[in-house]
Amino acid sequence: MSRNIFGLVSILFLIGGLLLGGRLIQMANAYKLEKETFTTSQNYQNRLLDFDQWLPDGGGEEIREKESRAKAKMLAWQVKADRFSSFLIALLIAYGVFLFAFGRVKENFRWAMGGLLLMALVCLGVGLFAPILEIAAFEKDLSIPVKVKTDFLSLDIDYTAKFDGEMYFYYQSKSIVELIGLLFQQGNLVVGISILVFSLLFPLGKTLFTLLALLRPGMMRNGLFSFFIFKTSKWSMADVFVAAIFLSFLAFNTMQTGIQTDSNVLWGLYYFLAYCMLAITSATLLQKRGVLEQSDEYHG
């Protein structure tokens, strides 16, 4: 009876997790698209090549209104993404509390670990497809001195052209899936393949095979299952990838380039980190209890 309840609760969790995670990914990518559209319109090339903006009255008020509207749209998408993220976190916590209570019974421990891996997979889905980091280089209210002096018609110009608002020199925001695709498109095959294999395929393979082995212990007799569960840990570098992203965030945020730089950790990285923590926790608990090694006693 208790396992039937576990099955029902887990199915409801998966449905809710997939729905909320899908909406979070949708809102997060809408925010990213709005930000990309804004930074493209405020790109330094577009603004510097616009002759009107070099004039003393270069439409500064119009630019600020445009900037204000764009930021309001970005904030709206960000708020929606945060709302769905809060719902998803609440669902994960509620299911985690259920697993803790359910797994306290020795006979249910294996099933509770399966539920923990389900939580990890839901987090992984969001972590792969939601933006993980945004970095930008820009200048606010850029001023460029304009000095022209010539004997022709006694022309003498000396004023400062002011470009109101934010002028972007660089902006980039990607999800992990988009990052891997970008690396392949740019021909960085070694880096792209390394991230794909060691930070994604091996950890994902181990999680899926462990989940299947918990649900069907007899599968442990399959050599492929044993290989992924016991032999791929040293090749799984998802946690190293997360650490590298955080280091990149810190490095870019403290760069001294003469212009303003900004970097923000976005939703995807937090969920990918949660996936890593849940996968590591489940593997540690399973190893400590020796569940997989003793799987034959559960068979049948």
Where b means 16+ CB within 10 Å and e means fewer, 97-110 reads: ebbeebbeeeebbb
pLDDT digits (tens, 9 = 90+) for 63-117: 778 888 888 999 999 999 999 999 999 999 999 999 999 988 888 888 888 899 9
pLDDT digits (tens, 9 = 90+) for 86-96: 999 999 999 99
Q: What pTM was estimated for this model as a whole?
A: 0.84
Phi then psi dihedrals of residue 165, to 5 deg: 80, -160
How many CB atoms are located within 10 Å of the residue 244 CB? 13
Sequence-distant (6+) residues with CB within 8 A of 180 are 192, 195, 196, 200
The yes-or-no verdict on residue 296 having pLDDT over 50 is no
Per-residue model confidence (pLDDT) at position 294: 47
Q: Which is it for the CA torsion 123, 127, 131, 134, positive or negative?
A: positive
In angstroms, the CA 25 to CA 127 distance is 9
Which has the closest alpha carbon to 293: 106, 105, 110? 110
Reduced to 3 states, what is the DSSP secondary structure of residue 114? Answer: helix
pLDDT digits (tens, 9 = 90+) for 201-225: 878 888 888 888 777 766 666 666 6
* Confidence label for 20 from pLDDT (cuts 50, 70 and 90): very high
Which has the closest alpha carbon to 42: 20, 18, 22, 70? 70
Q: What is the token pair recorded at 118?
A: 């389900």
Sequence-distant (6+) residues with CB within 8 A of 71 are 38
Q: Provide the H-helix boundaries in 146-257.
A: 176-185, 189-196, 202-215, 223-226, 238-253
In angstroms, the CA 38 to CA 67 distance is 8
Give how far Cα 16 sits from Cα of 87, 90, 102, 122, Å: 10, 11, 20, 10
Torsion of CA 80, 82, 88, 93, to 10 degrees: -150
The yes-or-no verdict on residue 263 having pLDDT over 50 is yes
For the chain, the domains span 2-298
